[in-house]
Amino acid sequence: MGNVQKTRWGILACGRIARKFADDLKHVAGAELVAVASRDLERAKSFAELFPARHVLGSYEELVQLDDVDVIYVASPHSHHFEHTMLCLDHDKAVLCEKAFAINSVQAGMMVDKAREKGVFLMEALWSRFLPHYIKVREMIDAGMLGEMKGILANFGFKPADPVPPRLFDPALGGGSLLDIGIYPVFLAQSILGVPENIIAQMDKSSTGVDEQCSIIFQYPNGITATLFSSLATNLETDADIFGRNGRIRLTNRFYEPSASIQYYPGIVSTRTEIPVEREAGWGYQHEARHVQECLSLGLKESPVWGLDKTLELMQTLDRIRAAMGLVYEVDKN
């Protein structure tokens, strides 16, 4: 893509992920953090002590009215992505919205429609799509290193430390393992094998009624399957095997983030080759941020890499998984 131009970022919601993202903007040439907004001015101020910005705001409404902000990173809980992204788009602000993009595909569709009607840039912050190791895996598959694809196994499990962040299990905040972490195995499988023909899913319900654990099988027409699992009850190896008739790629713990290594097991040989991956300082969010800047500098309204149709497909699959396992949020009833 073309030259990276100076981009003025605003951050909406000063929670945990917003800190990592703000930290990674330091690794993005041409990125300037100009505004941080919290529902509570004191929280915005303490955020700005770590990540200084010229506008430190006690409401999201003030953020979207600023003239000197090019793009807003929406980092609220997924229950609020719809409301906050719509607020930004209504004020013609480009948006990078955290995953899960919304609670369901109805909300996601309205967000996408609004961005397209208004001609404003919108992208889901599916950061794994932009990581060097994920791009390398796609190149290996495209080069035929696995041969005919046969399936994927992927897990994501962690036991949250006390105090457990309320949003993880609160249905009103879109709690549950699927939308929070299961989305990564689902993304991996769908981005490599495509949209599944059939989905089998079962949840292990928490006391709050959301999925503490989620087991999923994606079935494809030719007998291929993806077997996916997410857990907020147990620490698991968060790894993935992607395999075909001619070989297997193993993505080590944690497969969705830059710490993952790529191990390649060709054919029937059990010895493995470590595939080198470009590594750089930072949490890994700088890659998606750079991509957003490149899109904006080119005047694009959607990412050519992780476009809104891909986001909608992912949300629709998440809806299908929830339907299969019987997880309904209040907002689904509207």
Ligand X SMILES: NC(=O)c1ccc[n+]([C@@H]2O[C@H](COP(=O)([O-])OP(=O)(O)OC[C@H]3O[C@@H](n4cnc5c(N)ncnc54)[C@H](OP(=O)(O)O)[C@@H]3O)[C@@H](O)[C@H]2O)c1
Which of these ranges, 10-18, 185-193, 202-210, 247-255, lies near ligand X under the rule CB under 6 A?
10-18
Q: Which is nearer to ligand X, 119 or 163 (CB)?
A: 163
**Diameter over CA atoms, the chain:** 60
Candidate list 28, 31, 35, 76; residue touching ligand X; CB under 6 A = 76
What does the chain come to in residues? 334
Residues 6+ apart with CB under 8 A from 9: 25, 31, 32, 33, 34, 35, 69, 70, 71, 72, 73, 289
The residue whose Cβ lies closest to ligand X is 15
Which of these ranges, 32-40, 204-212, 240-248, 297-305, lies near ligand X under the rule CB under 6 A?
32-40
Q: Is 38 in the site for ligand X (CB under 6 A)?
A: yes
Question: Helix/strand/coil (H, E, C) string of 105-121?
Answer: HHHHHHHHHHHHHHCCC
Candidate list 8, 78, 250, 287; residue touching ligand X; CB under 6 A = 78
Q: Which is nearer to ligand X, 241 or 257 (CB)?
A: 257
Give least dist CB 273 to ligand X, A: 28
Assess whether the previous peptide bond of 163 is cis (omega < 30° from 0).
Answer: yes
Q: Which is nearer to ligand X, 184 or 218 (CB)?
A: 184
Q: From residue 313, give the alpha-carbon distance in Å to each of 66, 108, 151, 197, 218.
A: 33, 10, 20, 13, 14
Candidate list 70, 98, 212, 239; residue touching ligand X; CB under 6 A = 98
The secondary element (H helix, E strand) that includes residue 269 is: none
Tell me the site size for ligand X, rule CB under 6 A: 24
Number of other CB atoms surrounding residue 224 within 10 Å: 18
- What does the DSSP 8-state code read for residue 180? I
Q: Is 180 in the site for ligand X (CB under 6 A)?
A: yes
Give least dist CB 75 to ligand X, A: 5
Q: Which residues bind ligand X (CB under 6 A)?
A: 13-18, 38-40, 43, 75-78, 80, 98-100, 125, 127, 165, 167, 173, 180
